[in-house]
C-alpha cells in the first residue's frame, strides 16, 4: 500500500472522456486530480455541483488498485456506486444494508482486487477487519467525502468522523484526500489538523453558484407563497425545507390536498417510509419532498430545479449546502427563503434550551454566531451572491449578479425610508424600550386593542403613524432596521426593542437607512427570470426534451437506478438542441462516454429521429457560436508567479524537453504539463517547437480554426482523437499569446 507512481494527466483525460464523456475539466478539478495522481495529500473545497466526486473517481481508475472512499450515508454510497457502474467503472460498497451472502461475495471480490473504488462509512473504515481485508490489495488513495463533518467548527459536526484521525495507523503510506462543499478558513484548518494531512494541496474553488437564483421574501402566507414557486416549476423537482416535523406534516398534507404529489420526510417517520421517499424522489416518481434538514445529504438527484426554505436555516453553511442541492447539473434553479425575524428568536430559544438540557454550553458561542450570520444575510439589502461568497472570504466583483431578488427587481426601495425608520425608532423611544415587535407594530398601525389602550399608548404622538402600511410591511421594516444595526432586539425570554447610538443618529438625520419591500406585481405576473434560465433553454426543442426525459425515466426504472445515472438534464437538453442522427454525432454531446454510447445511444437516437420525422425538423444542428472570446482571444494570466513557477519557467526558457525538466526538478512529467501551459500563457514565447513539432502544431491550429476555436472537445474530435488534450491546450495557449502580441 505504498504511494502511487505519478501518472500523466493525458491518461487521466482519456479515462474521463471514455467513462464520463467529459473532454474538459472544471476549475480546480485538474489540480485536485493531479494531487491524487502524485500521491500528495489534499483538501478540496468545491461548491455543491462543482464536480468533487470526479476528483477522486477518475484518478482511482488511472491509478489502479482499490481507492477507499469514506461517505457518511448509505444512500449516498449507493447512488455513487450505481453511477460508476453505469459509466463502466467497477465499484462496490460495504455497509449494514448488505445481506450476509452479499457481504461475503463483495469481500471476496475486494480481496481479488476487482474494484477501482470501495465505499465505506467512517465507522467501518476503522474496524480491524477492513485493514485486514485490504492487506494484500494495493490502496493508492483514501478519499473522505463531506469532510467538514470532522470539524467542531463545521455546520454538521459528526463525532464518528473524529475517529478518522487514526487513519495513519492503518494506512501509513497512503495519501489522504478530504472533500467538502462548505468550509470557512477556520474549518479548513481544523480538517487539515484533525486528519493529520501532510503538506496538503489546499484547493478552494469559487463558492459562487451563478446558475442559482437566490430570493429572500418576507414570509406572510406560507402555503400561498410555496404554491407560487411550485407553479413556476410544473413537472420539475423541488425540496421544501421546514424547521419542525409538525410543519413538514402540515405543509405536505396541504399540498397534497391541492393535487401536488408532495411527500414528507423527517426523523419521526419510519425507516421504511423515509427510504421509500428517497427512492421515489431519486427515480422521479415523486418530484417534491417537504422535509426537515435531515433530507438531502444522501440524495444526488442532479435536476432539482427549486429549493424553498419556509424558515431560516441554522447557518450560512447550511444554507449554501441545502440550496446547493438545486441545479447540480449546472442548469438554472431557484432558491427561495421565506424569512421572518421571529425565526431567529425561536431558534435561539431552541438552541439555548438544548444546551441547558445537555448541560453543555461549550458549543453555544459557535452555534449562535452561525445563527447571527444567516440572520444578517437574510435581512441585508446587498446582492445575495455577493454577500454569500463574501462570507466565505471571496470577492464578487460584478455590479449585478442578475440572479437574485435584489438584482432582478423582485424588491423595490421603500419611499422615504429614513422617515419611515424615524417613525419606528421614535415609537421605540416613546415606550422606553420596554416592549417587543408586536406591541410597537400595533401602536404604529393604530390598533384599537386593550394592550395598547390600558397603557395609554393610543395617546402617543406616534400612534397610527404607519396605519396605511400592512402588518407584514411594518414587521419587516423593523427587522431590516435591526439588520442594519440601527435598532437592537434583546435575547431574553420576552425580546424587547431597544435603541442604540445608531438609532439616535438616524433620528437626527445623521445616518441613512435603506428599506426594501417586495415589488408590486400585477395578478398573474411572475418574477423576472435569471439570465442563466433564459440562456440554458436557447435552441432547445422542449417537446423533444420531454420525450427524452420520459425515455430516461423508463430506462432507469428497468435498470433500477436513479434517472440521473442514465443522463443528466444537461445532456438531454443538448440532445434536444443539436438533435444528432448518428452515434458519432451523439459522441460529441457532453456527458456521453463510451459505455453509455454503446448501451443507450441507439435507443435515444431512435426517439430523436422519430420526433424529427413527426414534426419535420432538421437533425444534426450546428452548435451555436458561444458569446465571448475564443480560445485564441483569452488573455495571459497576470497573477504573481510562485517560487516553483519561477524555477520551472527558467528551465522552459532554455527550451529543455519535459523529460529533461523532470530530471532536473524532480517533478513528474504529468505535473510539468500544467506548468508548461502556464509558462506559454504567461510569457508568450515565439516558438514551442521544443515541445510540439511543426506538423502537429499546424494540424491543431487548422482544426481549431475549422471548429471556431471556442472549445477543446470539437478540436479533439476534428483531429480524429489522434492528438492528446495537453498538446491541444499548449498549441491553443501559444496561438492565443501570438494573437495577443498582434
Half-sphere exposure of 634 (CA within 13 A, CB side): 17
In the three-class reduction of DSSP (H, G, I as helix; E, B as strand; rest coil), residue 463 is classed as coil
Could you tell me which of 123, 201, 200 has the C-alpha nearest to residue 166? 123
Could you tell me which of 79, 102, 82 has the C-alpha nearest to residue 90? 82
Give the residue carrying C-alpha cell 443528466. 568
Q: What cell was used for 129?
A: 477487519
Number of H helices, E strands in the chain: 33, 17
Q: How many other β-carbons are positioned within 10 Å of the β-carbon of residue 673?
A: 23
Q: pLDDT class for 377, splitting at 50, 70, 90?
A: confident
Contact between 310 and 242 under an 8 Å Cβ cutoff? The reply is yes
- Give pLDDT, residue 428: 97
Asked whether residue 582 carries a pLDDT value surpassing 90, the answer given is: yes
Mean pLDDT of 105-115: 91
Could you tell me which of 48, 5, 50, 14 has the C-alpha nearest to residue 32? 50
Q: pTM of the predicted model, to two decimals?
A: 0.69
Whole-number CA gyration radius for the chain: 28
Strands 516-518 and 411-413: antiparallel
In the three-class reduction of DSSP (H, G, I as helix; E, B as strand; rest coil), residue 174 is classed as coil
Mean pLDDT of 554-583: 91
Distance CA 119, CA 69 (A): 5
Range of weakest confidence among 56-60, 296-300, 438-442, 551-555: 296-300
Asked whether residue 605 carries a pLDDT value surpassing 50, the answer given is: yes
Contact between 328 and 46 under an 8 Å Cβ cutoff? The reply is no
Spatial neighbors of 108 by CB under 8 A, at least 6 apart, are none
Q: pLDDT class for 518, splitting at 50, 70, 90?
A: confident
Spatial neighbors of 265 by CB under 8 A, at least 6 apart, are 248, 274, 277, 278, 289, 290, 291, 292, 294, 295
Could you tell me which of 158, 183, 308 has the C-alpha nearest to residue 242? 308
Query: What's the CA angle centered on 271, arms 100 and 148, to 5 degrees?
Result: 90
Percent residues over pLDDT 70 in the chain: 89
Burial group, residue 272, by CB count within 10 angstroms (0-12, 13-18, 19+): exposed
Spatial neighbors of 699 by CB under 8 A, at least 6 apart, are 719, 723
- Give pLDDT, residue 8: 53
In the three-class reduction of DSSP (H, G, I as helix; E, B as strand; rest coil), residue 65 is classed as coil
Residue 416: C-alpha distances to residues 80, 407, 423, 483, 510 (Å): 54, 21, 11, 18, 15
Range of weakest confidence among 87-91, 415-419, 573-577, 633-637: 633-637
Distance CA 338, CA 336 (A): 6
Range of weakest confidence among 134-143, 635-644, 705-714, 726-735: 635-644
Q: What cell was used for 704?
A: 481549431
Helix/strand/coil (H/E/C) assignment for every residue in 380-444: CCCCHHHHHHHHCCCCCCCCCCCCECCCCCCEEECCCHHHHHHHHHHHHHHCCCCCCHHHHHHHH
Could you tell me which of 337, 298, 288 has the C-alpha nearest to residue 314? 337
Contact between 195 and 176 under an 8 Å Cβ cutoff? The reply is yes
Could you tell me which of 703, 648, 711 has the C-alpha nearest to residue 680? 648
Mean pLDDT of 119-143: 84
- Give pLDDT, residue 219: 87
- Give pLDDT, residue 636: 43
Contact between 130 and 119 under an 8 Å Cβ cutoff? The reply is no
**Which domains are assigned to the chain?**
9-204 (3.40.50.300), 212-409 (3.40.50.300), 412-518 (1.10.10.10), 537-615 (1.10.150.80), 631-741 (1.10.10)
- Give pLDDT, residue 497: 94
Mean pLDDT of 672-690: 81
Amino acid at each position: 500500500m505504498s504511494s502511487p507512481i505519478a501518472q500523466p494527466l493525458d491518461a487521466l483525460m482519456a479515462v474521463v472522456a471514455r467513462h464520463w464523456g467529459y473532454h474538459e475539466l472544471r476549475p480546480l478539478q485538474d489540480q485536485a486530480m493531479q494531487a491524487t495522481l502524485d500521491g500528495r495529500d489534499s483538501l478540496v473545497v468545491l461548491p455543491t455541483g462543482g464536480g468533487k466526486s470526479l476528483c477522486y473517481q477518475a484518478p482511482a481508475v488511472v491509478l489502479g488498485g482499490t481507492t477507499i472512499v469514506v461517505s457518511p450515508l448509505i444512500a449516498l454510497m449507493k447512488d455513487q456506486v450505481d453511477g460508476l457502474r453505469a459509466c463502466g467503472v467497477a465499484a462496490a460498497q460495504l455497509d449494514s444494508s448488505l445481506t450476509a451472502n452479499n457481504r461475503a461475495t463483495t469481500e471476496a471480490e475486494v480481496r481479488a482486487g476487482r474494484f477501482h473504488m470501495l465505499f465505506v462509512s467512517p465507522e467501518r473504515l476503522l474496524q480491524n477487519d477492513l485493514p485486514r481485508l485490504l492487506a494484500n490489495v494495493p490502496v493508492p488513495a483514501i478519499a473522505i467525502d463531506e469532510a467538514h463533518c470532522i470539524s467542531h467548527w463545521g455546520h454538521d459536526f459528526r463525532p464518528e468522523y473524529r475517529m478518522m484521525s487514526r487513519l495513519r495507523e492503518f494506512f501509513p503510506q497512503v495519501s489522504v484526500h478530504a472533500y467538502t462543499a462548505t468550509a470557512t478558513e477556520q474549518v479548513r484548518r481544523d480538517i487539515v489538523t484533525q486528519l493529520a494531512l501532510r503538506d496538503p494541496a489546499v484547493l478552494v474553488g469559487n463558492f459562487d453558484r451563478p446558475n442559482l437564483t437566490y430570493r429572500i421574501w418576507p414570509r406572510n402566507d406560507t402555503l400561498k407563497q410555496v404554491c407560487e414557486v411550485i407553479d413556476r416549476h410544473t413537472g420539475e423537482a423541488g425540496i421544501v425545507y421546514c424547521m419542525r416535523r409538525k410543519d413538514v406534516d402540515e405543509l405536505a398534507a396541504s399540498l397534497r390536498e391541492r393535487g401536488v404529489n408532495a411527500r414528507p420526510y423527517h426523523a419521526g417517520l419510519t425507516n421504511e417510509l423515509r427510504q421509500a421517499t428517497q427512492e421515489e424522489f431519486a427515480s422521479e416518481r415523486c418530484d417534491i419532498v417537504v422535509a426537515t434538514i435531515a433530507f438531502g445529504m444522501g440524495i444526488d438527484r442532479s435536476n432539482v430545479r427549486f429549493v424553498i426554505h419556509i424558515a431560516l436555516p441554522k447557518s450560512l453553511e447550511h444554507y449554501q449546502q441545502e440550496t446547493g442541492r438545486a441545479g447540480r447539473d449546472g442548469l438554472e434553479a431557484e432558491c427561495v427563503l421565506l424569512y421572518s425575524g421571529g425565526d431567529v428568536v425561536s431558534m435561539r430559544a431552541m438552541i439555548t434550551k438544548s444546551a441547558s438540557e445537555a448541560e453543555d454550553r461549550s458549543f453555544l458561542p459557535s452555534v449562535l454566531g452561525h445563527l447571527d450570520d444567516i440572520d444578517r444575510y437574510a435581512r441585508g439589502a446587498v446582492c445575495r451572491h455577493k454577500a454569500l461568497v463574501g462570507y466565505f472570504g471571496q470577492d464578487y466583483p460584478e455590479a449585478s449578479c442578475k440572479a437574485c431578488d435584489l438584482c432582478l427587481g423582485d424588491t423595490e426601495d421603500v419611499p422615504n425610508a429614513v422617515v419611515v425608520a424615524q417613525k419606528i425608532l421614535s415609537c421605540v423611544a416613546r415606550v422606553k424600550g420596554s416592549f417587543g415587535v408586536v406591541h410597537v407594530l400595533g401602536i404604529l398601525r393604530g390598533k384599537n386593542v386593550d394592550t395598547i389602550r390600558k397603557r395609554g399608548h393610543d395617546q402617543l404622538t406616534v400612534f397610527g403613524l404607519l396605519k396605511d402600511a400592512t402588518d407584514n410591511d411594518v414587521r419587516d421594516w423593523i427587522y431590516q432596521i435591526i439588520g442594519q444595526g440601527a435598532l437592537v432586539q434583546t435575547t431574553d425570554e420576552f425580546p424587547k426593542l431597544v435603541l442604540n447610538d445608531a438609532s439616535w443618529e438616524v433620528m437626527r438625520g445623521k445616518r441613512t437607512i435603506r428599506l426594501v419591500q417586495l415589488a408590486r406585481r400585477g395578478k398573474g405576473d411572475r418574477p423576472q427570470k435569471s439570465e442563466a434560465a433564459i440562456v440554458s433553454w436557447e435552441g432547445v426543442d422542449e417537446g423533444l426534451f420531454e420525450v427524452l426525459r420520459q425515455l430516461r425515466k423508463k430506462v432507469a426504472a428497468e435498470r433500477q437506478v436513479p434517472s440521473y445515472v442514465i443522463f443528466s438534464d444537461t445532456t438531454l437538453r443538448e440532445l434536444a438542441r443539436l438533435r444528432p442522427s448518428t452515434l458519432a454525432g451523439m459522441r460529441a454531446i457532453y456527458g456521453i462516454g463510451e459505455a453509455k454510447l454503446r448501451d443507450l445511444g441507439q435507443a435515444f437516437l431512435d426517439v430523436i429521429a422519430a420526433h424529427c420525422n413527426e414534426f419535420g425538423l432538421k437533425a444534426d444542428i450546428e452548435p451555436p457560436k458561444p458569446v465571448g472570446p475564443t480560445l485564441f482571444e483569452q488573455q495571459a494570466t497576470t497573477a504573481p508567479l510562485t517560487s516553483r513557477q519561477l524555477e520551472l519557467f527558467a528551465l522552459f526558457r532554455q527550451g529543455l524537453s519535459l523529460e529533461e525538466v523532470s530530471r532536473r526538478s524532480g517533478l513528474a512529467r504529468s505535473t510539468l504539463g500544467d506548468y508548461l501551459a502556464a509558462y506559454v500563457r504567461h510569457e508568450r514565447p515565439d516558438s514551442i517547437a521544443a515541445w510540439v513539432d511543426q506538423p502537429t502544431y499546424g494540424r491543431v491550429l487548422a482544426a481549431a480554426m475549422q471548429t471556431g476555436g471556442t472549445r477543446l472537445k470539437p478540436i479533439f474530435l476534428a483531429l480524429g482523437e489522434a492528438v492528446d488534450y495537453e498538446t491541444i491546450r499548449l498549441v491553443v495557449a501559444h496561438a492565443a499569446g501570438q494573437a495577443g502580441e498582434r
